[in-house]
Chains A and B, each alone.
Chain A
Amino acid sequence: MSGSQWALAVSVFLACAVEAVEALTIVLAVGTARNWRSALYGVGAGLLALAVVVAALGPAVGSIPIGALRVVVGGLLLVFGLQWLRKAVLRAAGLKALHDEDAIFEREAAAARDADAGARGRGPVDGYAFTIACKGVLLEGLEVVFIVLTFGANQHDVGLATLAAVAATLAVVAAGVAVRAPLARVPENTMKFAVGVLLSTYGCFWLAEGAGAHWPGGDASLLALIPGIALFAVALVAWLRAPSRLRDLERAS
């Protein structure tokens, strides 16, 4: 594999693994607290809906002219990337609560136990478990589909992007089945930081190319953009962590 293919595979794998961890936490919570069969039906329905979306959008994405595709996809990736990076920077600086899968699992499970307890076992399918699992898989899955289609179409390698996404999802599901608990030990915040850097970098690169700009050195400029954005984000964390800065922020808030 070439360097750009490795970059594509690693970017898609990391981004999809983060989404899969979030979906797994939701499914584990409603499955444990309510009804496993209904939760798994919900997962099936969510995956079916995703398949329909892929079947509808996949060919359409492929038929869009590459310049327009890069403007739209680059813009969207940059917006998503900056949002991820902002949350990751704030978490790393201690200004936002860390994403805690154990806490999310407990919250989802408590909500599942409290919600319409009478519905449990009344029919063949527990509507609450089905709906929450289906929504969790569908919403997190839509982000996976978006990442696969956009990265894959831009690099002309949807197959590799799909393989990376499937590998990430299988790895997360296998780990979840093995430990039968939320994947609290996955360094999710670090992964989100890395994914934020990668989404921002590719968004920046593709949006500029789609707008007609030419990067010095072509694709090789990514080798400067990725560490450049990562270092800037790390510098922001250090700046926010500085004691005097923290005092200023606390006073202002």
Chain B
Amino acid sequence: MRRALLAVWDFIVGDDWVTAAGVVVAGAATAALQSAGVVAWWILPVAVVVLLTRSVTRHRG
């Protein structure tokens, strides 16, 4: 069971859990702002820019 969960974690999250967590946070922020009546489509493109920049600078070489 533990091995199966680790395999799923590795398959989905891989070696960068911060990016996965960032996607979850950005999705939740989009839902929260949108439900409060604020236009929120821009959050995820901004998240892509921030998360990708952080990821490439952390995983270089």
Contact = CB atoms under 8 A, between A and B. Distances in A.
Contact of B44 (A83, A86, A142, A204): A204
Nearest to A143: B11
Q: Which residue among A79, A200, A212 has the maximum number of chain B CB atoms within 10 Å of its CB?
A: A79
B27 to A, nearest CB: 5
Given A216-B41, A225-B45, A86 B27 contact: no
B61 A207 contact: no
Given A212-B31, A214-B41, A249 B60 contact: yes
Contacts of A221: 41
B52 A213 contact: no
A247 interface: no
Nearest to B32: A211
A76 interface: yes
Nearest to A82: B19
Judged by DSSP, the binding face of A is helix
A236 B52 contact: yes
Interface string A79-114: 110110110011001011000000000000000000
Interface stretch (A8-16, A23-31, A124-132, A226-234): A226-234
Contact of A207 (B23, B52, B53, B55): B23
B45 A79 contact: no
A90 B60 contact: yes
Interface in B36-61: 39-41, 43-45, 47-49, 51-53, 55-56, 59-61
Interface string B6-25: 00000111101001100110
Interface in A39-97: 71, 74-76, 78-80, 82-83, 85-86, 89-90, 93, 95-96
A65 to B, nearest CB: 15
A244 interface: no
A229 B47 CA distance: 11
B12 A79 contact: yes
Contacts of B27: 71, 74-75, 207-208, 210-211
A78 B23 contact: yes
Contacts of A233: 52
Contacts of B43: 208, 213
Contacts of B45: 204, 225, 228-229
Interface of A: 71, 74-76, 78-80, 82-83, 85-86, 89-90, 93, 95-96, 142, 200, 203-204, 207-208, 210-216, 221, 225, 228-229, 232-233, 236, 240, 249, 253
Interface of B: 11-14, 16, 19-20, 23-24, 26-28, 30-31, 34-35, 39-41, 43-45, 47-49, 51-53, 55-56, 59-61
